[in-house]
Structure 1
Amino acid sequence: MNKDMVLLRAVEMAAIASYKYIGKKDKNALDGAAVEAMKVMLGKNIGIKLRVVNGEGELDNAPMFYYGQILGDVDNPHAPTLDMSVDPVEGTNPAAYNFAGSIATIAVSREGTMKQFPEMYMEKLFISPSLAGMVDFQEPLPKIVKGLQKKLQKKTLKAIILDKPRHEKIVKELDNLGVIVRLIKDGDVLGAIDVVNGEADFVYGVGGAPEAVLMASLAIASGAEMSARLVPYQEVWLDESETKERQDLEEKWLAKQTNLQWTTLMMAPDLVNDPRTRFFAAGITAGGTLKPIDYLNGKFYINTFMASHGIVRNLTTTYDVSQINNLKPEVKYLFDKYHR
């Protein structure tokens, strides 16, 4: 089976399985449904093995894909192995409470080419493919913006920023520069998809480090650019009860890394060292250019997105439950279990 279709169907079925729990305020049930759907779709006889490099769920005890887990044709010595970063529901809170900001997403690359990160924070700047080559990522964001405004001879750049207290200062600075800012509650991977689709010029924020690998895959696959720096937990949560413990864990992890410090600027190829990396996503509650999943008259309608080799595809997929049930037993199992 074509591996792109396998991976695309996996994110689609994760969206379909999670549909049952949208708005039900149960993040773990929603995430569990999406995880099971992906595991079922990425089972045997898909022609590849998938090694999880970045999964999800370690901090909040959610159902999870864990580092080093092997999926796919695990018993087939001839099946090639790919690295995989995966988030069955990127944005569990938006999905659980039914507001914009959640997708199912997977990125793959050649074995040994993806960087693994624990649940840490990272400052990320993701630049549109149309602006590739115009940015010195060593500069602070306001200076980057001024440089782009000068080169493009326009002030009204469009930015997507995570709506967090830690970003209030930069939002004010961008506003003073004339940048049109769209604030999002969650989902900087979804924001990066919007940037690739021309909805904005860049997305910026301090968010999860594992998600940076997904964004790096998207950047490489679409012709965009991005930079990233690790951010200590105490800079985001100074007075939380777990800050000292998290700080100690982060320092121990960082001490084991080669050529990586808090100040290290990483570009997309530092996170995913494979120009043939592939990125896949399906809308759950989505938002922007990627629309939410819908169900009507026995059919699921899903907005999906994929990028590879500089080719970007935005697709609308229809699953007719009655027809699929007759063809795919694993899909019938998921439809029966997670029918809303």
Structure 2
Amino acid sequence: MNKDIILLRTVEVAAIASYKYIGKKNKNILDGAAVEAMEKVLNSAEGFSIKVVNGEGELDNAPMLYSGQILGDKSTKVPMFDVCVDPVEGTNPAASNFAGSIATIAISRLNTMLKLPEMYMEKLFVSNQLKDCADLQHGIIACVQKMQKKAKKKDIKAIILDKPRHNEIIKKLDKMGVIVRLIKDGDVLAAIDVVNGEADFVYGIGGAPEGGLMASLAISSGCKMMAKLVGYDQVWPHEKETKQRVEYENQALQKINLSFEKYLDDNDLIKDPRTRFFAAGITAGGTLKAIDYLNGKYYVSAFMSSHGVIRNIKSVYDIDQINALKPEIKYLFDKYKRK
């Protein structure tokens, strides 16, 4: 079967498995369902295998979809690829049933993805029309001024993570005439909105592993991303775990030969112009819609980008037919059916 179809099915089935637990206030069990579904579909793939580069949190010693895990066709004659995975990007929104969660995966040629530590990253994702302005080295405000000049208007549209660490930047952008949309979680989902023309850029300090997914999306869609790693002590200077996290981060940076001062663009994170990106809505939001279920059928809103081609996809999963024709994933639908 075509590799792209398998990867598209992977994110869609992960969204379906998580549906049972949307709004149940238990983000761990919701995430666990999506992880199991994603691993099952990937492990049943034929004709290729994958190596997880950025996966489930290494700080939590995740048992599935962990960094370095090999999945797929076990034959030595098939090609192997790198992947970044996030079975539920936005576990809090999904557990509380508000907008902001997706299942997502990105793939590239073997040994082309940078393994990112589980830490914070300042990320800027800019639309195709303004990608020449994506330069964080002089700060986000100077970068936005470049975008306004290029767009020949002040009221460009931004999506910003609504966190206390961004309060001053949000105030400055508002005074500059920028139309700011705030989100609690889900900067990968927000980047999809940029690709689909709903905003001009996404900015915020969020999770570093998601940076690989956003880099794949930028490369495959013709947009642009810039990023820089940020120390835990810069975000949470007074927490009990700060000292331990700083030690972990310093060790992690030494392993990948990076520093907090180095600026990275999408091509530093993924060295493959043929990278592909896939996502499916869980509670979603914006241009990607939430998963729904009615009369034995799941309605899934999915997204794919590759080689500058962008696809917004509506899929309908008829459970009875799938259970009859795809017995290898039948137990997932039985196990995670919402009653």
Is TM more than 0.5 here?
yes
Structure-1 residue corresponding to 2:290: 292
1:233-273 CA-partner distances (Å, limit 9, x unpaired): 00000100000010111112223333x21110000000000
SS at match of 1:199: coil
Amino acid at match of 2:38: M
Structure-2 residue corresponding to 1:67: 67
- Write the distance in 2 (CA, Å) between the matches of 1:99 and 1:159: 20
Identical counterparts, % of pairs: 66
Comparing 303-312 with 55-64, greater Cα deviation is found at 55-64
- Write the distance in 2 (CA, Å) between the matches of 1:45 and 1:235: 42
SS at match of 2:280: strand
Note if contact 1:57-1:64 (Cα within 8 Å) is conserved in structure 2: no
Amino acid at match of 2:335: K
- Write the distance in 2 (CA, Å) between the matches of 1:314 and 1:4: 14
SS at match of 1:220: helix
Note if contact 2:124-2:134 (Cα within 8 Å) is conserved in structure 1: no
The Cα shift of 1:320 comes to 1.0
- Write the distance in 1 (CA, Å) between the matches of 2:321 and 2:135: 52
The Cα shift of 1:23 comes to 0.5
1:190-239 CA-partner distances (Å, limit 9, x unpaired): 01001100010000000011000000000000000010000000000010
2:32 pairs with 1:32 = yes
Structure-2 residue corresponding to 1:237: 236
1:148-182 CA-partner distances (Å, limit 9, x unpaired): 21222111000000010000011001001000000
The Cα shift of 1:39 comes to 1.3
Note if contact 1:125-1:203 (Cα within 8 Å) is conserved in structure 2: yes
- How many residues get paired? 338
The Cα shift of 1:63 comes to 5.8
The Cα shift of 1:60 comes to 4.9
Backbone CA RMSD of aligned residues: 1.2
Map 1:42-121; keep pairs closer than 5 Å.
42-60=42-60, 64-74=64-74, 76-121=75-120
Structure-1 residue corresponding to 2:266: 268
Note if contact 1:120-1:208 (Cα within 8 Å) is conserved in structure 2: yes
The Cα shift of 1:327 comes to 0.8
The Cα shift of 1:186 comes to 0.3
SS at match of 1:96: helix
**TM-score, scaled to structure 2:** 0.97
SS at match of 1:29: helix
Note if contact 1:94-1:100 (Cα within 8 Å) is conserved in structure 2: yes
Amino acid at match of 1:49: S
- Write the distance in 2 (CA, Å) between the matches of 1:109 and 1:208: 20
Residue 136 to residue 38, structure 1, CA distance change in 2 (3 Å): closer
Residue 300 to residue 146, structure 1, CA distance change in 2 (3 Å): same
SS at match of 1:295: strand
- Write the distance in 1 (CA, Å) between the matches of 2:133 and 2:182: 24
1:78-125 CA-partner distances (Å, limit 9, x unpaired): 110000000100111110111111000000000000000121100000
Amino acid at match of 1:334: L
- Write the distance in 1 (CA, Å) between the matches of 2:23 and 2:60: 19
Note if contact 1:138-1:265 (Cα within 8 Å) is conserved in structure 2: yes
Note if contact 1:28-1:63 (Cα within 8 Å) is conserved in structure 2: no
2:223 pairs with 1:224 = yes
- Write the distance in 2 (CA, Å) between the matches of 1:24 and 1:60: 22
- Write the distance in 2 (CA, Å) between the matches of 1:159 and 1:46: 41
The Cα shift of 1:333 comes to 1.5
Structure-2 residue corresponding to 1:331: 329
Amino acid at match of 2:300: I
**TM-score, scaled to structure 1:** 0.97
